[in-house]
Structures are given as C-alpha cells and as structure tokens.
Structure 1
Amino acid sequence: MYNQSSKRKGRDGMIIPKSIEELAGYAEKGKNVFFFTADWCGDCSFIKPQMPEIEAAFPQFQFIQVDRDEYIDVAAEWNIFGIPSFVVVNDGEEMGRLVNKNRKTKDEIAGFLQRVEG
C-alpha cells in the first residue's frame, strides 16, 4: 500500500509516483487523471506548461504524472502507444481515455475531462 504522505509533486503540482505500488494505489482508489508523458516528448513539453491551469479547472480530479519510459510495462498494459495521453480512472474503473499520437491542446483536454465528468 502506498503512503499518501509520501506524495512527490512535480514542478507543475502533479503527483509523481515513486513506485509501481504507489501508481497501482492511485489506479485503485480515487478519481484520477493519469498523464502519460516522457522527457524527450516534444508534444508533452508543449502541453506541460498548461497543465496547472487544467488542474485548477478540474479540482474534482487528482492528476498523476506517469513517465512512460519509467513505467513502460504499465503503458503497454494500458495500451498507451502514443504520448501525451490521458486516462481517467475512478476507484479502479476506467472512465475515459484520450490516447493517440497527436499533440493535445488545453481546450481538447478540457473538453475530454468535461465529457468524462458527464
């Protein structure tokens, strides 16, 4: 079981899991948006500066940054074959995904999260 008090946050405020166990804990409990990214990804670098605004607009979600290279097995299991990608999970149940190889815009991500919220 992961320790909530050990949350590591990135510069943009997103939670960055320290272990596969911690990542699994977030997938099992809570309303979470998993943001799959990588340091070398140009399209990821394009959207990262806008993520704090997206997070602020959707406080009902907890945002988890997942390094695709560090968690390559998780990315494969979740069928994440293009980044940046977003998967919304609520208490272990996938609610929606924005997964493709295209550059994402702030408006596209916001629209996706609004649709998932219903």
Structure 2
Amino acid sequence: MAVLTITKDNFDSEVMQSDKPVLLDFWATWCGPCRMVSPIVDEIAEERGDIKVGKINIDEQMDLAQQFGVMSIPTLIVMKDGQIANKSVGAVPKDSILALL
C-alpha cells in the first residue's frame, strides 16, 4: 500500500477512523535521521497490507506534531483504534520499527 501524506484535514478519516493499525512517521526535510528512516518506512508500507502507513511533515503540520508531543524527529507512532499503541523516537532499524507494530 502506498504511503499516505497525513494532514490535519485527513487525520480523522485516515488515522482515527482506520480499521487497521496506522504507522505514523513524523519527519522534516532538513532532518538527516529522518532521511535514513524514510526508505525503511516506505518499504514497510509496500510489504505490509495489514497496516496503513502515513507521513506527517512537522513543518507543515505543526498542530499534529504538538498534539502528539513530538519534540524530536523522526518520531514513529503506531495508532490502533484511535489510541497510541506504541512510540519510538530517533532513527531505528527496520526490525525495531516492525516490533512496534
């Protein structure tokens, strides 16, 4: 499944009302570690049809970043049934991201 670009406009429909777990990647263009994690997140999106994967650019979606208390990036958050199920901060390997799910 393709990676979704999550904004405050589609957050409710794509994340809160999702019947699948959602992996959210909070990132920014200027963040080096984010550029390391991004291809891994893309790979997971292609491999796993049982989850949704969304990316949130914190520079464009400051409200969502504040709502989730994102202080450092990359931050990965897994949402299940509208609730935070898991969270990871910093660049982590693929197996660590999969373990969040």
Q: How many residues align?
A: 99
Partner of 1:69: 59
Asked if the contact 1:84/1:104 (under 8 Å) is kept, the reply is no
Note the aligned Cα RMSD (angstroms).
1.9
* Greater Rg over alpha carbons, structure: 1
Q: Aligned partner of 2:93: which letter?
A: T
Report the equivalent of 1:97: 87
* Structure with greater proportional strand content: 2
Question: Aligned-pair distance for 1:63?
Answer: 0.3
Contact 1:29 1:90 in 2 (8 A): no
Contact 2:8/2:63 (CA < 8 Å) preserved in 1? no
Higher share of residues assigned helix: 1
* Percent identity of paired positions between Structure 1 and Structure 2: 22
Q: For structure 1, which runs of at least 5 residues remain unmatched after alignment?
A: 1-8, 114-118
- SS where residue 63 of structure 1 aligns? strand
Letter matched to residue 36 of structure 1:
F
- Of 67-76 and 49-58, the range deviating more from structure 2: 49-58
Give, in whole Å, the separation in 2 of the partners of 1:34 and 1:52.
11
Partner of 2:4: 15
User: Residue 110 of structure 1 corresponds to which residue in structure 2?
Assistant: 98
5+ residue gaps, structure 2, are: none
1:60 aligns with 2:47: no
Matches of residues 14-33 of structure 1 in structure 2 within 5 Å?
Answer: 14-17=3-6, 19-30=7-18, 31-33=21-23
**Distance in structure 1 (CA, Å) of the matches to 2:40 and 2:82:** 27
TM-score (ref. length: structure 1) = 0.73
Which consecutive segments of 4 or more residues in structure 1 shift more than 6 A?
none
Structure 2 CA distance, aligned partners of 1:110 and 1:85? 14
- TM-score (structure 2 length as normaliser): 0.83
